């Protein structure tokens, strides 16, 4: 299984039946493919509708129904549309059980940086700052290290923050971690990954519980 | 997820002493079945958040007439003589809020805001004990958000997942209150299956709604 | 012509074609009956719709279509419905050309009192404070004196205010007045009314222009 | 009052150097006919207020690519490489605002509020030079309202008096911007007579709308 699928599959098992969830662009979007059949979540798209469905059959695209990344999607039965103020009222008002986002950096205090690299890449925050501020649970889904092999989980973020002390869970291809008041707790390790390996690729000291679970896919 | 329950189930979720927002303007858009069920119940000591206190024998006013309410936050009590009487007798606390500020305070809670600045009430008793801020020579009162334990909402149509449609002037405070309470209970004239409402027709997204009861027809309640 | 009709008829001639207007309960509501045929105004009802139409035929009442006073009305073609937050966004956001309200007291600074008499009558402000704060023009339509013959136009309001320095025009059965930075300007007198009479019934000194018009009905 | 005008009439009301809000999310819900008319006009030096700068060759992004814009206030520029290039070259000023705060700032202007308190951006660069207030241990940034000289709106249906209906995700910022500009110009797929829309179907009341142009079909524009 490729790393990104492993991450998406683990995130997909976090949700409870009835949860309203917003998935960020990229890897987080793929989480929707792996939600267990018995768990019915309501996917919220910040550009203005609920119950995001799968991509339509080729030729069946509706130009007015795309996700926040501009990709053609569908609206499932029971979905509805709203303006951007209502969409962000849902986000900011605590009506989302969870949001899943990628990260450039996340640190042991739960700080998140994912919207700009000064002098290099400034795409803008889009809806990310609102999602981080408003969702009841902030889940980071990302590959554990950068393309250069540098840790993305650090003691203290260097990059400009998207939100301060808001991250709850971090899922990478190596493990499943929880941000606690004391630091980052390693709850599960992916099969074949050792504590030494994940720690060596992490910029913050991981807290090790008595029992570390297996991060099944 | 089917959110439709019986009136008894819905009622069992409302507790003594809770704060309850109820939609409606005078009697239009009031979930009268839910109101009447509370009137007939043991529930009391409520803090009511309503646009107005309607009439002593109709609308939310019945709750005041039958002593279910210790405090009411509202914009107008003039149509219900019993509210004024109980207020002057010290039997009920009344907090008056300008109608637009009341609507916006409720929306503000539902939208996760910490409040808003409004010109309404500047230079009047409404600004007492509130922060006044000035920008470009214009003064604004800082109003804080207002939520509740329970919201009772009247919809024209609901689907089983909680998407709501209102009708004409019966919309009023209902969509706002549906955003701002811990538990949102809807009384609907008509309940349809999820998927039967057009996505563009829905006025309150299902994500705000917890429970739905069907409005009883006069026949059924007899 | 009775005094209230004279007042309503004069107010009705203030509006321009296309004006969006909110009329208060009571005398102000009757203004709608006298708007000239060639002037099309959009009546806003703060309980949540535009294009308020006349009362329906008996038996044709729709229980969901009433004005802000609870009276059965109709919605004219081109009308639409909205929630209370949007309704007051229209009011507060300067989207109303004018509002017409009654008064208990109005003073020469443009202060208005119309929502309570301490210890006696406390109906509440309803939407009046928002209307006064937000409408581009605030028009007071009222009988010139109280039932006891006391002036309602005064130097300084005694009663709790609905809005501070917001009143633009005052129309009574005796005359048509404008609140200016210098005080209340008498622009028109009703037929048969003298300056002496209106001044004797007014608690503030009226400013007299060179030419005082006739307040035709 | 019939608000329908020609594209030329609408365009004549937009002046050099004005601030212009344009609805749309990427290209969905963008009044592309109005955007293209500006591209082909002498109008320039605009301050643009948009959710995102779309693409260099589609959506509002064309205005940036063809040098019509001196400043853009937006939440995201990542899809339009030219925006970033011009920003780094100092040819365009970019002000980034969180998407929810941008929506709420525009609504705030339209609703006559002096601003609002939001938790979004607390502890980030967004709070620089802004007032931060704390209530019950939670911090909020005071965001001020944002209006514009012109709003360009895309509707699915309009009636001749200016009531608007949007479709699916093409709603986005359109209803908010329609409240917040001195002059509101709508491009509608379809125009019907006043009275043909059901009062409950309307999403933007006519009171916010000044001018309406009909979207040209590919045939007509050829």
| DSSP track, A16-55 | -TT-EEEE-TTHHHHGGGGS-TT---EEEETTTEESEEPP
Asked if D200 is an interface residue toward chain B (Cβ–Cβ < 8 A), one would say yes
Name the domain count of chain C: 1
Q: Do B98 and C84 touch (CB under 8 A)?
A: no
Answer whether residue B222 is part of any domain. Answer: no
- What is the reported pLDDT for D144? 98
Do D123 and A49 make contact, defined as CB atoms within 8 angstroms?
no
Q: Tokens 């008894």 label which residue? A: B8
D117 and B113 in contact by Cβ < 8 A? yes
Q: Which residue of D has its CA nearest to C52?
A: D199
CA–CA gap between residue A62 and residue A69 (Å, rounded): 15
SS3 D86: helix
Cα separation, C208 vs C205, whole angstroms: 9
Answer whether D122's CB lies under 8 Å from D130's CB. Answer: no
C75/D206 Cβ within 8 A:
no
What is the structure's pLDDT at B219?
Answer: 59
Q: What is the extent of the structural domain holding A16? A: 3-214
Task: Note whether residue B140 is domain-resident.
Answer: no
D208 inside 8 A of chain C by CB? yes
Interface mutation target, options A83, A102, A119, chain D, most CBs of D under 10 Å: A83
Give the one of D103, D106, D123 whose C-beta lies nearest to A161's C-beta. D123
Q: Give, as one character, the DSSP assignment of residue D103.
A: H
Q: Which chains touch D (3 or more CB pairs under 8 A)?
A: A, B, C
Q: Testing the interface with D: which of B105, B157, B200 to mutate, by most D Cβ within 10 A?
A: B200
Q: Which of A70, A130, A160 sits opposite D26 (nearest CB)?
A: A70
Indicate which of B151, B207, B208, B209 best probes the interface with A, i.e. most A CBs within 10 Å of its own CB: B207
Chains contacting C (3 or more CB pairs within 8 Å):
B, D
Q: Would you list the DSSP string of B17-66?
A: T-EEEE--BTTBT--HHHHHHHHTSS--SEEEE-SB--BTTBTTHHHHHT
Q: Which residue, A15, A69, A64, A6, is CA-closest to A42?
A: A15
Dihedral (CA of A208, A212, A217, B1) sign: negative
Whose CA is closest to D84, among A69, A127, A123?
A: A123
Q: Does D174 touch chain A (CB under 8 A)?
A: yes
Which partners does chain A have (≥3 C-beta pairs < 8 Å)?
B, D
Residues of C in contact with B104 (CB under 8 A): 85, 88
Q: Which residues of B touch A20 (CB under 8 A)?
A: 207
Cβ C44 vs Cβ C21: under 8 Å: yes
Is D208 at the interface with chain A, CB within 8 A?
no
Provide the number of structural domains found in chain B.
Answer: 1
Taking contacts as CB-CB distances below 8 angstroms, the residues of chain B near A42 are: 206-207
CB contact under 8 A, B28 and C64: yes
Whether this model's ipTM surpasses 0.95 comes out as yes
What parts of chain A have a pLDDT lower than 70? none
Residue A104: CATH number of its domain = 3.40.1080.10
Contact D118 B114 (CB under 8 A): yes
Across the B:C interface, residue pairs with CB atoms under 8 Å apart total 138
Q: Which of A46, A105, A173, A188 is catalytic?
A: A46
Choose, out of D168, D201, D215, the residue to mutate when testing the contact with A (most A CBs < 10 Å).
D168
CA distance, residue B176 to nearest chain D CA (Å): 15
Report CA torsion sign: B130, B132, B133, B136.
positive
Q: CB C89 to CB D107 under 8 A?
A: yes
**Are A50 and B205 in contact (CB < 8 Å)?**
yes
Residues 6+ apart with CB under 8 A from D116: B108, B113, B114, B115, B116, B117, D104, D108, D142, D143
Cα nearest neighbour of B132 on chain D: D114
pLDDT for C120: 85
CB contact under 8 A, B179 and A134: no
Tens of pLDDT, residues D54-81: 999 999 999 999 999 999 999 999 999 9
In this complex, the residue of D120, D171, D173 whose CB is nearest that of residue A92 is D120
D47, containing H or E segment: strand D46-49
User: What are the CA-CA distances from residue C121 to residues B76, C24, D219 (Å)?
Assistant: 12, 18, 67
Judged by a CB distance cut-off of 8 A, whether residue B169 touches chain D is: no
Q: Compute and round to an integer the Cα radius of gyration of chain D.
A: 18
The per-residue pLDDT for range D19-28, each reduced to its tens digit, is 999 999 999 9
Which of D103, D119, D125 lies closest to A84 in CB terms? D103
Residue B100's nearest CA partner among B114, B79, B121, B80 is: B121
Q: Tokens 């007798």 appear where?
A: B89
Closest chain D CA to residue A91: D100
Residue ranges making up the domain that contains D184: 7-103+145-214
What is the reported pLDDT for D218? Answer: 64
Q: Distance between CA A163 and CA A103 in Å, rounded?
A: 11
Q: Does a structural domain hold residue B12?
A: yes
Contact with chain A for residue B166, Cβ under 8 A: no
| D216 pLDDT above the threshold of 90 | no
In chain A, what residues touch D174 (CB-CB under 8 Å)? 83
- Residues 6+ positions from B196 with CB-CB distance below 8 Å: B159
Shortest distance between the Cα of D132 and any Cα of chain C, in A, equals: 25
CB proximity B108 to A under 8 Å: no
| Closest CA–CA distance from residue B103 to any residue of chain C (Å) | 5
Question: What are the pLDDT tens digits along chain C (217 aa)?
Answer: 899 999 999 999 999 999 999 999 999 999 999 999 999 999 999 999 999 999 999 999 999 999 999 999 999 999 999 999 999 999 999 999 999 999 999 999 999 999 999 988 889 999 999 999 999 999 999 999 999 999 999 999 999 999 999 999 999 999 999 999 999 999 999 999 999 999 999 999 999 999 999 999 7
Residues of chain B with pLDDT under 70: 218-222
Chains within contact range of chain B (3+ C-beta pairs < 8 Å): A, C, D
- Closest in A81, A85, A126 to D176, CB measured: A85
Contact D112 C93 (CB under 8 A): yes
* B117 interfaces chain C, CB cutoff of 8 Å: no
Beta strands at D69-74 and D93-96: parallel, antiparallel or unpaired: parallel
Interval A101-125: pLDDT, tens: 999 999 999 999 999 999 888 899 9
Q: Model's pTM, two decimal places?
A: 0.98
**In degrees, to the nearest 5, what angle opens at C-alpha A215 toward C-alphas A212 and B1?**
115
The answer to the question of residue B115 being in a domain is no
For the four alpha carbons of D69, D74, D78 and D79, in that order, the dihedral sign comes to: negative
Closest residue by Cα to residue D187 from D174, D176, D198, D200: D174
Q: What is the DSSP letter of D4?
A: B
Instruction: Give the three-state DSSP class for D71.
Output: strand
For residue B93, tell me if it sits in a domain. Answer: yes
Q: Is residue B75 part of a domain?
A: yes
Q: What is the pLDDT of residue D221?
A: 46
First-to-last CA distance in chain C?
9
- Tell me if C85 and D199 make a contact (CB, 8 A cut-off): no
Q: Which of C5, C38, C46, C155 is catalytic?
A: C46
Nearest CA in chain C to B51: C126
Least Cα separation, residue B172 to chain D (angstroms): 12
Asked if A142 contacts A103 with a C-beta cutoff of 8 angstroms, the reply is yes
Distance CA(D96)–CA(C160), nearest Å, equals 45
Whether D33 is in a domain gets the answer: yes
**Chain B, window 32-91: residues with a beta carbon less than 8 angstroms from a chain D beta carbon:** none
B148-159 and C183-189 beta bridge pairing: unpaired
Q: Let me know if C196 is a catalytic residue.
A: no
- Which of B157, B165, B210 is closest to B5 using CA atoms? B210
Cα dist. A201→A145, C185, D221 in Å?
7, 80, 58
- Any bridge partners for residue B22, and if so which? B152
Q: Indicate the SS3 state at residue C46.
A: coil
Cα separations in angstroms, B193 against B3, B185, B197: 11, 18, 8
Give yes or no for B116 touching D (CB within 8 A): yes
B109: chain A residues, CB-CB within 8 Å: 93
One DSSP character per residue, chain A reads --HHHHHHHHHHTS--TT-EEEE-TTHHHHGGGGS-TT---EEEETTTEESEEPPPPTT---TT-B-TTS-B-EE-TT--B--HHHHHHHHHTT--SEEEE--SEEETT--EE-S-BTTTB----TTHHHHHHH-SSEEEE--SB-TTS-BSEESS--SPPSBSS---EEE-SSEEEEEETTEEEEEEE-TT--HHHHHHT-BSPPB--S-PEE---
Nearest one of A126, A34, A30 to A87, comparing CA atoms: A126
Between chains, do A95 and B161 touch, taking CB under 8 Å as contact? no
Q: Do D116 and B118 touch (CB under 8 A)?
A: no
Rounded to whole angstroms, how far apart are CA atoms A55 and A74?
A: 6
């Amino acid at each position: 299984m490729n790393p990104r699928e492993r991450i998406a599959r683990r995130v997909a098992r976090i949700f409870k039946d009835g949860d309203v969830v917003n998935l960020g662009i990229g890897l987080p979007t793929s989480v929707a493919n792996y939600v267990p059949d018995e768990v019915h979540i309501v996917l919220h798209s910040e550009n203005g509708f609920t119950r995001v469905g799968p991509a339509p059959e080729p030729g069946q695209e509706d130009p007015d129904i795309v996700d926040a990344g501009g990709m053609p999607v569908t609206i499932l039965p029971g979905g509805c549309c709203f303006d951007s103020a209502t969409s962000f009222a849902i986000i900011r008002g605590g009506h989302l059980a969870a949001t899943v986002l990628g990260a450039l950096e996340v640190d042991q205090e739960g700080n998140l940086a994912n919207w700009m690299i000064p002098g290099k890449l400034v795409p803008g925050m889009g809806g990310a700052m609102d999602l981080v501020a408003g969702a009841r649970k902030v889940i980071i889904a990302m590959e554990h290290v950068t393309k250069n092999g540098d840790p993305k989980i650090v003691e203290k973020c260097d990059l400009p923050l998207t939100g301060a002390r808001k991250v709850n869970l971090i899922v990478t291809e190596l493990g499943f971690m929880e941000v606690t008041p004391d630091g980052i707790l390693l709850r599960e390790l992916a099969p074949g990954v050792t504590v030494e390996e994940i720690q060596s690729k992490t910029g913050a000291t991981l807290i090790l519980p008595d029992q570390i679970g297996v991060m099944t896919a | 997820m089917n959110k439709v329950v019986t009136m008894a189930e819905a009622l069992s979720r409302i507790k003594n002493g809770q704060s309850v927002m109820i939609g409606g303007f005078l009697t239009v858009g009031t979930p009268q079945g839910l109101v009447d069920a509370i009137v007939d119940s043991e529930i009391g000591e409520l803090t009511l958040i309503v646009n107005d206190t309607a009439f002593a024998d109709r609308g939310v006013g019945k709750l005041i007439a039958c002593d279910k309410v210790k405090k009411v936050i509202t914009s107008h009590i003039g149509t219900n003589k019993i509210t004024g009487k109980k207020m002057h007798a010290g039997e009920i606390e009344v907090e008056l809020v300008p109608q637009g500020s009341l609507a916006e305070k409720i929306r503000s809670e539902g939208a996760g805001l910490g409040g808003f600045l409004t010109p309404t009430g500047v230079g009047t008793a409404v600004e007492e004990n509130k922060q006044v801020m000035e920008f470009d020579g214009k003064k604004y009162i800082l109003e804080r958000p207002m939520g509740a334990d329970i919201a009772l909402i009247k919809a024209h149509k609901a689907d089983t997942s909680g998407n709501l449609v209102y009708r004409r002037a019966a919309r009023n405070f209902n969509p706002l209150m549906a955003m701002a309470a811990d538990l949102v209970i809807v009384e609907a004239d008509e309940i349809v299956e999820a998927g039967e409402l057009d996505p563009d027709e829905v006025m309150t997204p299902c994500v705000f709604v917890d429970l739905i009861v069907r409005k009883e027809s006069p026949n059924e309640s007899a």
